[in-house]
Amino acid sequence: MRGFPPLQIFLLGLLFGLLAIPLVQLTGQAGSSSGGGELAASSAKAVALAHSKSLAGSAREGEKSPVFLRVRYAHKPLKISLKEAKRELIIKPDLSASPLEIETQLAIRPEGNELSLEASWPEGTPDTALTIEIEPDGRDARSETVWSQGADLSEILTFLW
């Protein structure tokens, strides 16, 4: 036996209306609450402002922040050099395993950081990829992958935060 379609539609609409009342109370009328929403919004703004000030403060010229540096490679290089303004960031690297992980200091600039990467491989090594990943303290990690052509690689990498 089949049901009566107008009755089924009416019951469905009634059920929808009963569910809509609590949903409207939960999601709507944020201004008529006891002020907890406004307090949370102002607290979120204060946290965002403090975070932006700390990031701006760490970006001042010459002020260095801790940086986690990771170098990945498919074929073991003979030597690798990563410099910022003639200052070597990778000192006495242990190239026995990939990835090479180092903690160092780097001045994070708002216009970006240009790093000079040089690497060399033994003769006969096929073209290979080398990835540099930099993760400053309190910021997102950035990575650049470059490919060698032949036994030597020389690139200028720009990292923006």
Q: What is the pLDDT of residue 62?
A: 56
The domain spans of the chain are 5-26+34-58, 65-159
Per-residue pLDDT reduced to its tens digit, 18-28: 999 888 888 87
Amino acid at 159: F
Q: What is the mean pLDDT of residues 31-37?
A: 51
Those residues with Cβ within 8 angstroms of residue 65's Cβ, 6 or more apart along the chain or in another chain = 58, 105, 106, 107, 108, 136, 137, 138
Amino acid at 68: F
Q: Report whether pLDDT(29) > 70.
A: no
d(CA 1, CA 30) in angstroms, rounded, equals: 48
> Considering only CA atoms, which of 144, 141, 146, 148 is closest in space to residue 158?
144
Instruction: Give phi and psi for 90, each to the nearest 5.
Output: -110, 105
Q: Report whether pLDDT(49) > 60.
A: no
Tell me what percent of the residues of the chain surpass a pLDDT of 70: 78
Residue 89, Cβ neighbours under 10 Å: how many?
A: 21
Per-residue pLDDT reduced to its tens digit, 97-140: 778 888 988 888 888 889 999 999 888 888 889 999 999 888 88
